[in-house]
Amino acid sequence: MRDDSDFAPLTPTWFPPWFDETFSREVYSPRELPGILELSKSAVYRALKTGDLDAFRVGKRWAVPKPAIREWLLDAYTLNN
């Protein structure tokens, strides 16, 4: 994963406080992300499948670390702006 300096010139000023408030835990399940981000379930699972969103398995379940969510969102932001 990249550190914050990789995104610094492109990170909007509103993003860090919004992200920290929205994502207070260190790990999320893929099932939680569509509700939090108002995305389709298929968009989240597609990102996992393509490797755009990093995750790891815990038994039979997927776990998505907070830094991976941040990177995924900022990558999407920079692609769209």
CATH at 21: 1.10.10
Distances (CA, A) of 65 to 4, 24, 78, 80: 15, 11, 20, 23
How many domains does the chain fold into? 1
pTM over 0.95? The answer is no
Kindly list the averaged pLDDT for each block of 10 residues, start to end, along the chain of length 81.
Answer: 58 92 97 97 96 95 97 83 61
Alpha-carbon span 14 to 16, nearest angstrom? 6
Instruction: Tell me the helix, strand and coil percentages in the chain, rounded to 5.
Output: 50, 10, 35
Give the pLDDT of residue 25: 98
Domain that holds residue 75: 4-80
Which phi and psi angles does 13 have, rounded to 5°?
Answer: -65, -30
| DSSP letter assigned to residue 52 | S
